[in-house]
């Protein structure tokens, strides 16, 4: 069983046609949805769980997931709600900035009753991000989902993926994120997020990472754009260089990375249980190399879903 359930927001990315940001097109996105699509495009069995509005964009979002073979059984329509939207701006290096339109939107309105409809025993891996922690109701549902996953011994992956403008008070971020750590097997942070969270906790980055491992986290990935990425556990500390590319759009690079890592753990080395793989230095090194190549490939096209790579693109580049 190698099925992924990715949980969280599915929204519309308004992507610019060029680096001057003068015209935009509506493109399906949302970090957890990107991970589900990335996993499926690599050849994995992925499902997405989230709230969907009953507006025009909802149909576009559902159809996009289906197009990439993501199971939408747990994409729940929230009557009377709207779809969240984010304006994505790109600079001359393809780096992004975000402006969210997300007040009481469908992605924030999932309930425990929705979670009880999930066949949890169908899944080997559960993935989520921090954008469902920005609202009290959504945060409660997120923690409940983590409890369900842990009860079923599902591998838990958390890409912190902070979008600071979504938080009413950024001083609350570190505590909100930390409430999830006790459930997590894998955590992914960007270097900037690591520095931010460590500072909020009045710690140096290394001490903050040590604290996460002490909480029971088994594996931490720290990415840093084109610079070397890090994977660390209680027993190893790996540094690997990302492939050198000329980025067109980095929108889905981090999502492609974690989708690649989760796919690798679930589809390679099948004679070793996935919970054991993340403790094996050689396997983690191979998974990290694969994930970095996925992230690099995702930077070569604009958009989120379309930019995420297929398996043959990763293996041949």
Quick one: which H or E segment has residue 200? helix 191-200
Burial letters 43-68, b for 16+ CB under 10 A, else e: ebbbbbbbbbbebebbeebbebbeeb
**Contact of 147 with 183, CB cutoff 8 Å:** yes
Q: Give me the residue label for tokens 């992004």.
A: 96
**Contact of 219 with 284, CB cutoff 8 Å:** yes
**CA angle (310 as vertex; 261, 293 as ends), nearest 5:** 45
Q: Which of these ranges, 28-32, 110-114, 227-231, 276-280, has the smallest mean pLDDT?
A: 28-32
Q: Give me the residue label for tokens 């699509």.
A: 37
Give the pLDDT mean for 297-308. Answer: 88
d(CA 54, CA 299): 32
Closest by CA to 294, choosing from 315, 269, 272, is: 315
**CA angle (305 as vertex; 258, 121 as ends), nearest 5:** 55
- pLDDT higher than 90, residue 118: yes
**Contact of 173 with 162, CB cutoff 8 Å:** yes
- Confidence grade of residue 180 (pLDDT, cut at 50, 70, 90): very high
Q: Which of these ranges, 11-25, 64-78, 149-163, 198-212, has the smallest mean pLDDT?
A: 11-25
In sequence order, what are the residues at sequence separation of 6 or more whose Cβ sits closer than 8 angstroms to the Cβ of residue 200?
Answer: 171, 173, 174
Token readout for 32 is: 């957890």
- pLDDT higher than 90, residue 2: no
- pLDDT for the residue numbered 141: 98
Token readout for 132 is: 């469902």
Instruction: Give the single-character DSSP code of 102.
Output: -
């Amino acid at each position: 069983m190698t099925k992924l359930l990715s949980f969280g927001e599915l929204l519309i990315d308004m992507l610019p046609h060029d680096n001057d940001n003068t015209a935009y097109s509506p493109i399906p996105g949302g970090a957890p949805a990107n991970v589900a699509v990335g996993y499926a495009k690599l050849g994995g069995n992925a499902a997405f769980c989230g709230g969907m509005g009953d507006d025009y964009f909802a149909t576009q979002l559902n159809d996009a997931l289906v197009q990439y073979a993501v199971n939408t059984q747990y994409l729940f329509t929230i009557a009377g709600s709207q779809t969240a939207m984010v304006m994505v701006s790109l600079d001359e290096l393809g780096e992004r900035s975000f402006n969210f339109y997300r007040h009481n939107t469908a992605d924030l309105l999932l309930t425990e009753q929705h979670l009880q409809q999930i066949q949890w025993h169908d899944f080997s891996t559960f993935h989520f991000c921090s954008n469902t922690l920005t609202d009290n109701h959504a945060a409660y549902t997120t923690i409940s989902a983590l409890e369900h996953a842990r009860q079923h011994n599902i591998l838990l992956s958390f890409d912190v993926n902070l979008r600071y403008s979504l938080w009413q008070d950024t001083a609350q971020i570190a505590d909100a994120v930390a409430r999830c750590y006790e459930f997590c097997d894998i955590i992914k942070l960007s270097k900037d997020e690591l520095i931010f969270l460590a500072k909020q906790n009045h710690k140096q980055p290394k001490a903050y990472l040590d604290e996460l491992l002490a909480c029971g986290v088994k594996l931490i990935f720290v990415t840093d754009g084109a610079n070397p990425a890090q994977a660390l556990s209680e027993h190893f500390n790996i540094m690997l260089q990302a492939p050198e590319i000329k980025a067109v759009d980095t929108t889905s690079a981090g999502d492609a990375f974690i989708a690649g890592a989760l796919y690798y753990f679930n589809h390679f080395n099948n004679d070793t249980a996935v919970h054991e793989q993340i403790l094996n230095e050689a396997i983690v090194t191979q998974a990290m190399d694969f994930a970095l190549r996925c992230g690099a490939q995702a930077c070569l096209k604009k958009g989120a879903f379309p930019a995420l790579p297929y398996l043959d693109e990763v293996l041949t580049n």
